[in-house]
């Protein structure tokens, strides 16, 4: 029996997936996600709003500190707002790319990026994700960045499974987004995600992901 009267429990959802079915499902998911790439060349072809709503609904299932769910998803399809976001982002990016050379410039070199961000206006939709901190009717959150980061991962996975292309864009600083999108100060921009279909002539950098044995450490025997 829980000792805290504010704590109430309900039965956990039943999944009923057999081990063999689970292995097959995990393999299918891995195969699908292996094809995910950051796409910077997006088509202006319209996207079914349900695909975006379903992806945000999926993101909103993410675990969060004390279940405070400290995220806000602002979907921008208005051409004028997208243009203003691009102008604001390019102003920040131009200052970075034309500024003193740093290790960050070196790290970005293989990706072929620069201050130009046409995907912000080419994409039929932008999802601007905000961290929600204490303010207004929103209670104090806990582990905000961790919670929002997990939610964004689910968001990107859902969009990919729906056949959509995405990229994660983080101009620095990003506070200009509050003004453009009329968001309160206690909401802090986390990432801008252009969403759409890949352009027919889209290309991606010739880069590789680390092999699994470089990113996994097993301490003890594997689980059978």
- Check whether 223 has a pLDDT greater than 70: no
Give ∠ CA 196-199-205 in degrees, rounded to 5.
Answer: 100
**pLDDT at position 112:** 85
For residue 46, give both structure tokens.
């319209």
For residue 22, give both structure tokens.
């689970």
The stretch 27-31 carries a mean pLDDT of 97
* Residue 189 DSSP SS3: strand
Q: The domain 43-201: what is its CATH number? A: 3.40.109.10
pLDDT digits (tens, 9 = 90+) for 97-152: 888 888 988 888 888 888 899 999 999 999 999 999 999 888 899 999 999 999 99
**Verdict on whether the full-model pTM lies above 0.85:** yes
- Listing DSSP states for 47-60 in one string gives --HHHHHHHHHHHT
112: number of Cβ within 10 Å: 11
Residues 6+ apart with CB under 8 A from 194: 42, 119, 120, 122, 123, 125, 126, 166, 167, 169
* Residue 142 DSSP SS3: strand
The stretch 57-73 carries a mean pLDDT of 97
């Amino acid at each position: 029996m829980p000792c805290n009267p504010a704590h109430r429990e309900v039965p956990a959802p039943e999944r009923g997936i057999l081990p063999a079915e689970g292995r097959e499902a995990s393999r299918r998911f891995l195969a699908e996600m292996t094809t995910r790439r950051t796409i910077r060349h997006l088509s202006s072809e319209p996207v079914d709003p349900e695909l975006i709503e379903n992806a945000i609904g999926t993101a909103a299932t993410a675990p969060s500190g004390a279940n405070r769910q400290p995220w806000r998803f602002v979907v921008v399809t208005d051409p004028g707002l997208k243009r203003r976001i691009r102008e604001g982002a390019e102003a920040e990016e131009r200052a970075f790319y034309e500024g003193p050379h740093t290790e960050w410039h070196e790290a970005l070199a293989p990706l072929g990026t620069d201050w130009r961000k046409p995907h912000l206006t080419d994409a039929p939709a932008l999802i601007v994700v905000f961290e929600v901190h204490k303010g207004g009717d929103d209670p104090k959150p806990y582990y905000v960045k961790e919670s929002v980061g997990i939610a964004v991962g689910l968001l990107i996975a859902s969009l990919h499974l729906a056949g959509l292309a995405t990229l994660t864009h983080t101009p620095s600083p990003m506070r200009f987004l509050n003004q453009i999108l009329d968001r309160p100060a206690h909401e802090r921009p986390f990432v801008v995600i252009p969403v759409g279909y890949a352009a027919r002539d889209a290309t991606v950098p010739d880069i590789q992901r680390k092999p699994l044995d470089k990113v996994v450490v097993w301490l003890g025997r594997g689980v059978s």
